[in-house]
């Protein structure tokens, strides 16, 4: 069942009305991206998709606190934070197609968004390995005396991995400037949270490592902002890391390949749908006089236009050239790599010079 959290009316941080509306706009944008990609996957236009529907408050609320100079180490469902940091929407879709718009040149699996310019590191498919990376980057920033905070994301299932425990211990001992965010959406693919741990949630685990832990209503975007702000200021001021547990719910399957009705009691889903983060925040904004029907319609229309335009640009983009397989590997390619390239590309005569025998 949903956890009790601070109501938005009581938890509201000191943000300007336009900033509050902007948070809601990003939540709507992320869900619209979800809906578009899921439709495209069902149509066979992209291969795989990991939805984040129902978790928009946790994503936007925590991600909005990070500055452009801070690093994000995501799990599967934080791609929206990259868009919030200014990443082009067409390139976002380009990653799903693996074409020339993909900053990774088609080398990664779908949903593994990444951009060095936006300080957003690709998620790691091996569960939880991004967390030691986030802690290590924070440790490096501390050694260098940089004003940088890293944000390491993990799902509830990832907390059962050794990487979680190693990262927590190292972060606390080193008092590194890192915010560790667990999106507890109740499911690790088909494994319920009750099978992950016997403790009362994730945040309580922080005490064992000697760091603060915060358990937050992850469907309340303003409560997420507040908790993340607290952790961010602690990290930036030298107070060390914080573990934040954002309790939310995965509305759909783990991915486009998953059918949650095969393992989930669907009678328990409606209770979570009643605290839908987008509808909940929309009601708060309307009661506060910041959002009305006309403005909502205009925002949703702009979002649809932006997504449609991005797909029109991304889908027909050219495929990545074959010779890019051999770039960005070595500064000075060794003979073995040059021979492999010759075997694939040839020298223009139809014969590959120096190719290895098969």
193 backbone dihedrals φ, ψ, rounded to 5°? -60, -30
Which residue, among 220, 226, 227, 225, has the nearest Cα to 243 in the 3D structure? 227
Give helix 17-42 / helix 89-97 axis angle, nearest 10°: 20
Distance CA 154, CA 161 (A): 10
- Residue located via tokens 């469902």: 77
Tell me which of 19, 42, 263, 330 is the catalytic residue. 263
Q: Chain-centre distance of CA 183, in angstroms?
A: 10
Instruction: Name the one residue in this structure whose structure tokens are 């693919």.
Output: 189
Tokens of 352: 């590959």
Give the tokens for residue 355.
């190719």
Active site (annotated) includes residue 254: yes
Catalytic residue (choose from 31, 251, 254, 341): 254
3-state helix, strand, coil in the chain (%, to 5): 50, 10, 40
DSSP 175: T
Write out the two tokens for 62: 């925590």
Any alpha helices (H) in 237-328, and if so which ranges? Answer: 269-273, 277-287, 293-314
Alpha carbon distance 337, 357 (integer Å) = 14
Question: Which of these is catalytic: 112, 118, 250, 251?
Answer: 250
Can 250 be counted among the known catalytic residues?
yes
Q: Which residues are catalytic?
A: 250, 254, 263
């Amino acid at each position: 069942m949903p956890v009790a959290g601070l109501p938005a009316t009581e938890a509201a941080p000191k943000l300007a009305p336009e900033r509050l509306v902007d948070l809601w706009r990003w939540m709507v944008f992320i869900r619209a991206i979800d809906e578009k990609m899921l439709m495209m996957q069902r149509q066979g236009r992209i291969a795989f998709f990991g939805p984040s529907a129902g978790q928009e408050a946790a994503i936007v609320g925590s991600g909005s606190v990070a500055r452009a100079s801070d690093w994000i180490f995501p799990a599967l469902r934080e791609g929206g934070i990259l868009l919030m940091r200014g990443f082009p929407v067409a390139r976002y879709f380009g990653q799903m197609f693996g074409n020339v718009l993909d900053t990774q040149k088609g080398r990664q699996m779908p949903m593994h968004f990444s951009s060095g310019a936006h300080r957003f590191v690709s998620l790691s498919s091996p569960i939880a390995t991004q967390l030691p990376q986030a802690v290590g980057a924070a440790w490096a920033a501390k050694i260098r005396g940089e004003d940088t905070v890293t944000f390491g994301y993990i799902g509830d299932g990832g907390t059962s991995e050794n990487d979680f425990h190693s990262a927590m211990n190292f972060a606390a001992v080193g008092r590194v400037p890192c915010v560790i965010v667990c999106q507890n959406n109740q499911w690790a693919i088909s494994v319920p949270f009750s099978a992950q741990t016997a403790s009362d949630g994730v945040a309580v685990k922080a005490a064992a490592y000697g760091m603060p832990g915060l358990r937050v209503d992850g469907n309340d975007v303003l409560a997420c902002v507040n908790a993340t702000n607290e952790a961010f200021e602690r990290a930036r001021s030298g107070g060390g890391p914080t573990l934040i547990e954002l309790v939310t719910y995965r509305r759909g399957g783990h991915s486009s390949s998953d059918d949650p009705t095969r393992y989930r009691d669907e009678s328990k889903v409606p209770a979570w749908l009643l605290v839908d983060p987008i509808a909940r925040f929309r009601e708060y904004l309307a009661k506060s006089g910041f959002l009305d029907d006309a403005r909502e319609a205009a925002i949703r229309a702009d979002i649809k236009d932006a997504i449609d335009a991005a797909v029109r640009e991304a889908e027909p983009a050219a495929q990545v050239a074959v010779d890019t397989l051999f770039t960005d590997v070595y500064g000075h390619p060794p003979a073995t790599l040059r021979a492999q390239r010759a075997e694939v590309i040839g020298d223009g005569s139809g014969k590959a010079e120096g190719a290895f025998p098969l």
